[in-house]
Amino acid sequence: MDKLLIEGGQVLSGEVAMSGAKNAALPILCASLLTAEPVHFTNVPHLNDISTMLRLLGDMGVGVTMDGVDGLVLNGGGLNNPVASYEMVKTMRASILVLGPLVARGGEARVSLPGGCAIGARPVDQHIKGLQAMGAEVKVEQGYVHAKATRLKGARICTDMVTVTGTENLMMAACLADGETIIENAAREPEVVDLANCLVSMGARISGAGTDVIRIQGVDKLHGATHSIMPDRIETGTYLCAAAITGGDIRLLKTSAAYLDTVVDKLMDAGCEITVERDAIRLVAPKRLKAVSLRTAPYPAFPTDMQAQFMAINCVADGVATIRETIFENRFMHVNELMRLGANIQIEGNNAIVRGVDRLEGATVMATDLRASASLVIAALVAQGETLIDRIYHLDRGYERIEEKLARLGASVKRVH
Q: Which residues are catalytic?
A: 117
Asked if residues 347 and 335 have their Cβ atoms less than 8 Å apart, the reply is: yes
User: Closer to ligand EPZ at the Cβ: 326 or 412?
Assistant: 326
Distance CA 124, CA 189 (A): 18
Distance CA 179, CA 105 (A): 15
User: Closer to ligand EPZ at the Cβ: 131 or 316?
Assistant: 131
Q: How far is CA 400 from CA 21, 90, 124, 189, in A?
A: 10, 21, 28, 21
User: Closer to ligand EPZ at the Cβ: 146 or 290?
Assistant: 146
DSSP code at position 358: S
- The 3-state DSSP class for residue 386 equals strand
User: Closer to ligand EPZ at the Cβ: 111 or 383?
Assistant: 111
- Does the protein bind ligand EPZ through residue 209 (CB under 6 A)? no
User: Closer to ligand EPZ at the Cβ: 164 or 316?
Assistant: 164
Exactly one of 304, 314, 368, 375 binds ligand EPZ (CB under 6 A); that residue is: 304
> Least distance in Å: CB of 333 to ligand EPZ?
12
- The 3-state DSSP class for residue 218 equals coil
- Does the protein bind ligand EPZ through residue 165 (CB under 6 A)? yes
User: Closer to ligand EPZ at the Cβ: 126 or 368?
Assistant: 126
Of 288, 277, 306, residue with least CA distance to 248 = 288
Residues 74 to 103 in contact with ligand EPZ, rule: CB under 6 A = 94
Q: What are the strands of the beta sheet with 180-184, ordered from one edge?
A: 156-158, 180-184, 213-217, 205-207
Give the CA angle between residues 50, 55, 61 to the nearest 5°: 130
- Does the protein bind ligand EPZ through residue 163 (CB under 6 A)? yes
Distance CA 220, CA 390 (A): 49
> Least distance in Å: CB of 327 to ligand EPZ?
5
Number of residues near ligand EPZ (by CB under 6 A):
22
> Least distance in Å: CB of 9 to ligand EPZ?
28
Distance CA 310, CA 194 (A): 26
Strand pairing class (280-284; 273-276): antiparallel
Asked if residues 406 and 413 have their Cβ atoms less than 8 Å apart, the reply is: yes
For residue 361, list its beta bridge partners: 384
> Least distance in Å: CB of 114 to ligand EPZ?
8
> Least distance in Å: CB of 363 to ligand EPZ?
24
The pair phi, psi for residue 158, each rounded to 5°, is -125, 110
- Does the protein bind ligand EPZ through residue 164 (CB under 6 A)? yes
Distance CA 105, CA 96 (A): 15
- The 3-state DSSP class for residue 189 equals coil
User: Closer to ligand EPZ at the Cβ: 271 or 298?
Assistant: 298
- Does the protein bind ligand EPZ through residue 10 (CB under 6 A)? no
> Least distance in Å: CB of 4 to ligand EPZ?
18
- Does the protein bind ligand EPZ through residue 327 (CB under 6 A)? yes
- Does the protein bind ligand EPZ through residue 328 (CB under 6 A)? yes
- Does the protein bind ligand EPZ through residue 302 (CB under 6 A)? no
Distance CA 82, CA 103 (A): 8
> Least distance in Å: CB of 220 to ligand EPZ?
29
The pair phi, psi for residue 111, each rounded to 5°, is -120, 125
- Does the protein bind ligand EPZ through residue 375 (CB under 6 A)? no
Exactly one of 194, 232, 235, 305 binds ligand EPZ (CB under 6 A); that residue is: 305
- Does the protein bind ligand EPZ through residue 232 (CB under 6 A)? no
Q: What count of other Cβ atoms lies within 10 Å of the Cβ of residue 359?
A: 12
Binding track, positions 15-54, relative to ligand EPZ; x by CB under 6 A: --------x--x----------------------------
Residues 99 to 158 in contact with ligand EPZ, rule: CB under 6 A = 120, 122-127
User: Which residues of this protein are in contact with ligand EPZ, per CB under 6 A?
Assistant: 23, 26, 94, 120, 122-127, 161, 163-166, 304-305, 327-328, 370-371, 398
